[in-house]
A and B are shown apart, each in its own frame.
Chain A
Amino acid sequence: MVALSPDLRPGRLQGDRSHRARRLGLFLALLLAVVAVVSLGWGASGTSLARAVSDLLAGRELAVQDRVVLMDIRLPRVLMGIFVGASLAVSGAVMQGLFRNPLADPGIVGVSSGASLGAILAIVLGSTLPAGIAAFFGWYLVPVAAFAGGWLTTMALYRIATRRGRTSVATMLLAGIALGAIMAALSGLVILRANDRELRDLTFWGLGSLAGANWPKLLAGAPIMALALLYAPWLARGLNALALGEAAAGHVGIRVQKVKNRAILTVAAATGAAVAVSGGIGFVGIVVPHLLRLASGPDHRWLLVNSALLGAVTLLLADMVSRTVIAPAELPIGIVTAVMGGPFFLWILLRNRGGLDL
């Protein structure tokens, strides 16, 4: 199902898919707006978005319950879904470009585990930090720690998997498994030291969920994710050239080491902040870029932007599913994305079996 029909209209270069990617981006932006509004009106309580809007338009005060549900519960949750979904998808796309492989994903190669370890360390040991440091970071302590954990893991992974400018997929996946296991074990050790309250926080958070979304969390995580998301398109030309291999990328004028370092920082920031606020939500980073490559090609100038949009849409949809399936209780969103994404990942593997240089 390679989506490539020759475009024979005059004046347009055959094989240039940027017009298609641009149209797709526009469509995804509109779709995101619609899904976000639907998501605001979606929920267990009797709050109706339509009633709230008509109240607002008529110049009436919102009912207290409507205001609490919409402004304090649903709005931060929807925004969190948008930021986290976009960050996970863009992290996946950047990492796949960096490793030149469609199977690289922060969740699979241990970067999320590294970020988790950072976050867990911050949650459990945060209270033992000198008051000055804790006060300096405030709400940012967990996201920053997760970023540091994700960054160190990505660096280690790249160092291990790359020899003389060639990244070995087999080494990357195996090293990722090992690093992930080490991080998970260390996380387990740290969790042993947690008290009951911290334990409850950790369990809830570890399953991957947007349920804990609130304004302080959003304000702590969103700026880091926003920075990474805004910077990512600047990596596009470098990642395109990297598809030719590191040496060839250098020959077309790319500062390869700089691009690699910044790509790693971007992945770590986006993944770290996303993990910090919502726990481990898998498979968005692998499914979204893959679908977009099928639809409009691997050119990173569009892939990164469209990944952000489709990632946000995907996570909002998954969140609505998670709020509905066993209502009034909630399914952790990580379970929803894993149930949808796991089979998809296997499908990619099966399609590419022949082409993987393992």
Chain B
Amino acid sequence: MSLIATDIRVSLGRKEILHGVSVEARAGEITAIVGPNGSGKTTLMRSLTGELACRGAITLNGRDIAALSPEALARRRGVLPQAAALSFPFTVAEVVRIGVEARGERAEALVPAALAAVDLPGFSGRLYQELSGGEQQRVQLARVLAQVWQPLDAEGPRWLMLDEPVSSLDIAHQLTVMRLAAGYARAGGGVVAVMHDLNLTALFAQKLVLMSGGCVLCQGRADEVLTDEALSSAYGCRLRVNAVPDSGIWVLPHAAA
């Protein structure tokens, strides 16, 4: 079961932002979308979630997402947005419950379970707006997690679509969140994440999609995509990819100068 996008083109106004992008993400894996600012990562993500109208075809578990109802889509995949604004003083429990309600079933017990999974046990009574940026991001992740709690059921895999899930997190919670995503994938679910940290990506993602200028520069395993040439070309600066024993691949700036 896969999430397959074929020849996706997106235009905003007269400007085409994605120029025929084709990617495939398989359930059971973390697929990371990487690339410089403005390369089209978030636009690709918004197309894959069905939020943004695009030309081309996108299928989720073999079904065209344009033909799925919003409710059906919400039961198959949860989306973590990049910005996590919230109007009105909701408590953490009330925010996570919005995700629970999207399941179309009563499952209140998921609220504390999802909060524990993102390392926020005991936060359910706090006001969302009084939390730090990193805590808010994890509350949003808990909400998404509650929405698609079981990674796999009779109808196939569920999907986590995460737009920069670790952008405001400290290093320990970056690992918490990435391990959570990895566990979700191991249990049969699919994970697609827009990432900036190449090292973290190399540690956790089974597949990388390197974007540049609205196109896919290359995609594949970390050791196939993270090469000196590909990265230097995509990011426009000299980067060196090193192999570190027991840890995999590390990307370092070439020189301070």
Chain A: residues with CB nearer than 8 A to chain B? 2, 4, 6-7, 13-17, 100-102, 237, 240-241, 243-245, 247-248, 250-255, 293, 297-299
Picked from B81, B94, B126, the residue with its CB within 8 Å of the CB of A299 is: B94
Contacting residues, chain B, for A100 (C-beta < 8 A): 87-88
Cβ-neighbour of B51 out of A2, A7, A251 (below 8 A) = A251
Number of contacting residues on B, CB 8 A?
Answer: 39
B93 contacts the other chain (CB 8 A)? yes
Q: Which of B70-78, B181-189, B191-199, B210-218 contacts A (4 or more CB under 8 A)?
A: B70-78
Q: A241-B98, A248-B81, A251-B51 are in contact. Are A15 and B88 (CB under 8 A)?
A: no
Could you pull out 25 A-B pairs where Cβ atoms are within 8 angstroms? Answer: A4-B127, A15-B126, A16-B91, A16-B94, A16-B111, A16-B124, A101-B87, A102-B88, A237-B101, A240-B98, A243-B87, A244-B86, A244-B98, A248-B81, A250-B70, A251-B79, A251-B81, A252-B98, A252-B101, A252-B102, A253-B70, A253-B104, A255-B70, A293-B89, A297-B94
Look across to chain B and name the residue whose beta carbon is closest to the beta carbon of A166. B85
B126 touches A250 (CB 8 A): no
Q: Chain A interface secondary structure, helix, strand, loop or mixed? A: loop
Q: Which chain B residues lie closer than 8 Å to A241 at the CB level?
A: 98, 102
Q: Are B79 and A248 in contact (CB under 8 A)?
A: yes
- Which residues of chain B from 59 to 113 have a CB within 8 Å of any chain A CB? 70-71, 73-75, 78-79, 81, 83, 85-95, 97-99, 101-102, 104, 108, 111-112
Q: Which one of B71, B90, B95 lies within 8 Å of A253 (CB-CB)?
A: B71
- Verify if B245 is at the interface (C-beta below 8 Å from A): no
Residues of B within 8 A of A243 (CB): 86-88, 90
Q: Verify B86–A6 contact, CB threshold 8 A.
A: no
Asked if B236 is at the interface of the complex by the 8 Å CB criterion, the answer is no
Chain B neighbourhood of A240, CB < 8 A: 94, 98
Residues of B within 8 A of A237 (CB): 101
> Which residues of B are found within 8 Å of A251, using beta-carbon distances?
49, 51, 74, 78-79, 81
A245→B90 CA distance, assembly (Å)? 14
Report the minimal beta-carbon distance from B143 to chain A, rounded to whole angstroms. Answer: 8
Q: Given A237-B101, A293-B89, check contact A14 B124 (CB 8 Å).
A: yes
When chains A and B are docked, how far (Å) is the Cα of A254 from the Cα of B99?
A: 11
Min CB–CB distance A141 → chain B (angstroms): 38
Contact with A along B213-229 (1 / 0, CB 8 A): 00000000000000000
- Whether A15 contacts B101 by the Cβ 8 Å rule is no
**Least distance between A48 CB and chain B CB atoms (Å):** 46
The answer to whether A13 touches B70 (Cβ under 8 A) is no
Residues from chain B with a CB closer than 8 A to the CB of A255 are 70
| Complex CA distance for A237 and B102, rounded to whole angstroms | 10
Closest to A255 in B: B70
A243, B87: Cα distance in complex, Å: 5
Q: How far is the CA of A16 from the CA of B95 in the complex (A)?
A: 10
Inter-chain contacts of B137 with A (CB < 8 A): none
Does B147 lie at the interface of the complex (its beta carbon under 8 Å from any beta carbon of A)?
Answer: yes
Find out whether the CB atom of B81 lies under 8 angstroms from the CB atom of A245: yes
Chain A residues, CB < 8 A from B101 = 237, 252
What distance in Å separates the Cβ of A71 from its nearest Cβ neighbour in chain B?
A: 43
The 7 A-B residue pairs whose C-beta atoms are closest, nearest first, are A253-B74, A15-B93, A14-B125, A15-B91, A298-B88, A100-B87, A252-B102
- Asked if A14 meets B79 with Cβ closer than 8 Å, knowing A237-B101, A251-B51, A252-B98, the reply is no
Of the residues A6, A15, A102, A253, contact of B75 by C-beta under 8 Å: A253
Residue of chain A at shortest CB distance from B102: A252
Q: Which residues of A contact B122 (CB under 8 A)?
A: 14
Return B246 CB to nearest CB of chain A, in Å. 38
Residues in B whose Cβ lies below 8 Å from that of A244: 81, 85-86, 95, 98
Q: Which chain B residues border A15 with CB–CB below 8 Å?
A: 91-94, 124-126
